[in-house]
Amino acid sequence: MKKTIFFLIVTSILICFSVEAYSSPPPAGSSTNEFGQTLEEPAWGMIEWSSATLPKGFWYPSFEFIYVHGESYFAAGKELDFPGGRDSTAYILDARLIYGLSNNFSLGIFIPFMLDQKVDSGMFGTNINVISGASNVGDVQLWVKYHLIDRYFWSVASQAGATLPTGTPHNKVSSKEAATGDGQTDLNLALNGDILLTEESFIKLDTRFVYQFKRTYRHEGQKLVDEKSGNSFGADAGFVMNFKNMGVGGTLQYDFWQGTKMNKELVTPDSDLFNLLLQLSLGNLSPQKHGKLDFTLDLPLTGKNASLTYRFGISLKTIFR
């Protein structure tokens, strides 16, 4: 797995240095509210991750296939193998749809579908039985995004939404199936900022907060249990460079999660994680050029009580009115 990830990184770097950077001027007499100009340049087809919003009346669907693999975890910055040398693997298909309600206001929905997964690992010294074969819808996310500030070289957008417990939580599955959701409703808040350096490059600065509501269920069909997963906070700092029909970027991400409580008793510790997200975008998404292909590689760096999980994603995006 590590050799594969190293090969992907080297290949991406070679591709980046094999093209010439360029800047395409906007068509004469066109409006800055038209997709493909100021709204597209700082986002390079990544509207969902930047401060950009869709122009009014535009639809932006995307589909992503994600491979997830983990075989160890961080304990106070040290990498440790799961007990028994076990590992976990998942194959996920995500569908995302964004609509421009106005030039500064977008609506979105995110639907994950677990194609297959194998969970064969103890977490932080605990024991978990071998469970696999789950194929089901995960937790669906709904959100709204508003473009707050738009200046010549920087912009800010706010985002608010909810994660719905549409997936299958652990307490409702058999011993041969893994969960596809946490069974709780989440409140999601975020700020997305872009700082334009040149016409071809910009800096991404993001923050996010997730509040998780508790859920009540019968543990093993007996007594009622109140479970409260910990809230989380995250911050990102990244750099994006646009090339001819191509964009590349790297983002340093930090996430902190509070521990999980059952009946107000702490059962898992607080955790945090630093990771590096690499992005490669091929194509020039616009109403005239409908297709765009993106690649993402998520590399864990260090952390505490957090799973050391690698993710590789391929997504297809389009735009229409």
- In our burial notation (b when 16+ CB lie closer than 10 A, e otherwise), range 218-254 reads eeeeeeeeebbbbebebebebebbbbeebbbbbbebb
Predicted TM-score (pTM) of this structure:
0.78
Residue 123's identity, in one-letter code, is M
The three-state secondary structure class of 107 is strand
CA dihedral 50, 52, 55, 58 (to 10 degrees): 0
Given the candidates 2.40.160.40, 1.10.3720.10, 2.60.40.420, 3.90.1170.50, the CATH classification of the domain at 2-317 is 2.40.160.40
What pLDDT was estimated at residue 132?
Answer: 52
Q: Which of 300, 240, 312 is nearest to 275 (CA)?
A: 300
Q: Nearest 5°: phi and psi at 192?
A: -115, 130
Give the span between the Cα atoms of 48 and 110, in whole angstroms.
10
Is-contact 70 309, C-beta < 8 A? yes
Give the span between the Cα atoms of 39 and 45, in whole angstroms.
10
What pLDDT was estimated at residue 118?
Answer: 75
Give the span between the Cα atoms of 178 and 134, in whole angstroms.
6
Q: Which of 257, 236, 240 is nearest to 191 (CA)?
A: 236
**If the chain, 321 residues long, is cut into consecutive pieces of 10 residues, what is the mean pLDDT of each piece?**
47 38 35 41 56 87 92 73 66 93 93 81 44 70 92 89 84 53 87 87 92 78 77 94 84 93 83 93 69 90 88 91 83
Q: What are the residue boundaries of the structural domains of the chain, listed by start?
A: 2-317
Is-contact 246 282, C-beta < 8 A? yes
Cα angle vertex 207, ends 204, 208, to 5°?
A: 135
The DSSP bridge pattern shows strands 246-257 and 232-243 to be antiparallel
Cβ partners under 8 Å of residue 179, min gap 6: 134, 167, 168, 169, 170, 173
Q: Nearest 5°: phi and psi at 8?
A: -65, -40
Is-contact 30 100, C-beta < 8 A? no
Cβ partners under 8 Å of residue 237, min gap 6: 203, 204, 205, 251, 252
H-run or E-run covering 37: none
Beta bridge partners of 98: 60, 108
What pLDDT was estimated at residue 167?
Answer: 82
The two tokens of residue 46 are 């990544």
Give the span between the Cα atoms of 306 and 70, in whole angstroms.
11
H-run or E-run covering 319: none
Q: Which residue has the tokens 């590590």?
A: 2
User: Which of the 8 DSSP states describes residue 36?
Assistant: T
